[in-house]
Amino acid sequence: MATKDHTIVFITGANSGVGYETVRALLKSSRPYYIYLGSRSIDNGNQAATTLRDETPESSSSIEVIEIDVSSDDYINAAFEKLNQGPGRLDVLVNNAGHSLENRVSTGQYTLREAWNKMYDVNVTGAHILTSTLAPLLCQSSNPRLLFLSSGLAQLETLSKGYYPGQPPVAGWPKSASISPHGYRASKTGLNMMMLTWYWTLKNDGVKVWSVNPGWLATNLGGTREKLKELGAGDPALGGTLIRQVIEGGRDADVGKVVISQGIQPF
């Protein structure tokens, strides 16, 4: 059971990838956390929680699983009720759940419209509605923190100077939908604007707000971990370490910005 001494943290999409590594990083901290591990699948969430508990038996922190699909208002409202009836406050919300679906357009699993709508629904709309729903609980905290997981692809300033990554495709049509993650890029750029509006909206409530770019890491987002490792992607644990740094006050000078491990990412 969560107590007044615990920092109450809710992390969406935390049964794998950067979310999972964030839970692991917090469990290894000397600070006591009560971590709500958000997962679309309760079975996957419970499996992740069991593994993490077994790895850190001496941790002063605890894990509880919340089944959460940020594209569903019913799940979001149920999460609010669980938190409200439990600790009655939320100290840290980490909007980590995300989709990158360009490759699934190429394979025919989604139409282009379906993929873009789904990415915006999860990456932007879902994060916004979850934040809106849980904002009253954040405002009950004495040190509230709100994080949105962004991407290095979401840089208008950099993109305006020279398209990246890589060279433009050869002339001719059609072009592969997987050449560049246009929908994912656009959704994360929209998320950064949303972060700025939340930073402004909650400023007088004392809520510290950031976007966090954990870096190019070998997760299952938009591909397979092994393939990304071969291409040079980093260990997802690096993302967990960065998010823990933000949660524990190491980046308080950078509120309202997109933080990266080495500083600030341009908008």
pLDDT at 157: 86
The pLDDT confidence band at residue 225, using thresholds 50, 70 and 90, is low
Locate the domains of the chain by residue range: 7-265
**pLDDT for residue 248 is more than 90:** yes
pLDDT digit string (tens) for 226-246?
Answer: 665 555 556 778 889 999 999
pLDDT digit string (tens) for 61-78?
Answer: 999 999 999 999 999 999
Residue 188 falls in the annotated catalytic set: yes
**pLDDT for residue 138 is more than 70:** yes
Of residues 184, 187, 199, 208, which has the active-site annotation? 184
Of residues 59, 61, 100, 151, which has the active-site annotation? 151
Tokens of 51: 């593994």
pLDDT at 231: 52
**pLDDT for residue 217 is more than 60:** no
Question: At which residue do the structure tokens 């950064």 appear?
Answer: 192
pLDDT digit string (tens) for 84-111?
Answer: 999 999 999 999 999 999 888 888 899 9
Is it true that the peptide bond before 87 is cis, omega within 30 degrees of 0?
no
Question: At which residue do the structure tokens 């060279």 appear?
Answer: 167
Tokens of 77: 């409202």
Superfamily of segment(s) 7-265: NAD(P)-binding Rossmann-like Domain (3.40.50.720)
pLDDT at 158: 84
**pLDDT for residue 2 is more than 90:** no
Residue 141 falls in the annotated catalytic set: no
Q: Is 98 left (phi over 0), alpha (psi -120 to 50) or beta?
A: beta
Of residues 100, 188, 199, 257, which has the active-site annotation? 188
Q: Look at 32 and 169; give whichever has higher pLDDT.
A: 32
Residue 132 falls in the annotated catalytic set: no
